[in-house]
């Protein structure tokens, strides 16, 4: 049971993460953020969420607003959540990398290594029952983090499968999915994502 006191403590820990990322001058993305008057994207949602959705890095709309998944891909993510009768505000949504890479390029291994520990702390704060990874970078990071290296497959094979992991706070399920953005370029992927997302309902 999550008490008012524990929620306050979680909020304070998240605030500390936010402050550290804002001041992360050693990040190769820091100068790009400042030059473009962009915002870091820490994450948003319930600090007592059962579901945690993790993408790879913010895009243009996210860097403008400081919020994750607010563009077209974000609208589809909202649709996926609605499809299993879950409100967006009841989940926690974030990315591995908290600053936008130039031109929305893929995050580099160095950037993932730098920002990864912040995500690790967020997972420990939220203590989710289900982690939904959105895209191959997120899938690879989370699978490796929880010692599932030998289970890693191409996302074309792993999507929709469920993996059991043990965290410091107990057992959780990992569900790799395609990134919602793929459905923007390939309409047939919408149904694939919707079907895969149905798996989340089993663990609520």
pLDDT of residue 1: 62
Per-residue pLDDT tens digits for 126-140: 999 999 999 999 999
What is the pLDDT, as a whole number, of residue 5? 82
- For the whole model, what pTM was predicted? 0.95
Buried b (16+ CB within 10 A) or exposed e, 48-86: bbbbbbbbbbbbebbbbeebbbbbebbebbbebbeeeeb
Q: pLDDT tens digit string along 39-77?
A: 999 999 999 999 999 999 999 999 999 999 999 999 999
Could you identify the residue written with the tokens 């243009």? 60
Going by the DSSP 8-state scheme, the letter that residue 128 receives in this structure is -
Q: What is the pLDDT of residue 3?
A: 84
Q: Which fold has domain 4-203?
A: Uracil-DNA Glycosylase, subunit E (3.40.470)
Domain positions in the chain are 4-203
């Amino acid at each position: 049971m999550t008490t008012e006191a524990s929620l306050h403590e979680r909020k304070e820990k998240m605030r500390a993460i936010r402050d550290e990322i804002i001041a992360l001058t050693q990040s190769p993305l820091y100068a790009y953020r400042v030059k473009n008057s962009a915002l870091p994207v820490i994450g948003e949602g319930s600090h007592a969420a059962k579901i945690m959705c993790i993408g790879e890095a913010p895009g243009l709309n996210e860097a403008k607003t400081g919020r994750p998944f607010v563009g077209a891909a974000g609208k589809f993510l909202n649709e996926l959540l609605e499809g299993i009768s879950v409100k967006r505000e009841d989940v926690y949504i974030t990315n591995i990398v908290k600053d936008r890479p130039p031109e929305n390029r893929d995050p580099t291994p160095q950037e993932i290594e730098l920002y990864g520990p912040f995500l690790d702390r967020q997972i420990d704060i939220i203590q989710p029952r289900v982690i939904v990874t959105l895209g191959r970078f997120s899938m690879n990071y989370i699978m490796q983090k929880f010692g599932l290296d030998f289970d890693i497959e191409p996302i074309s094979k792993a999507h929709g499968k469920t993996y059991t992991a043990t965290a410091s706070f107990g057992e959780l399920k990992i569900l790799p999915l395609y990134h919602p953005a793929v459905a923007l370029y390939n309409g047939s992927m919408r149904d694939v994502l919707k079907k895969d997302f149905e798996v989340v309902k089993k663990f609520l």
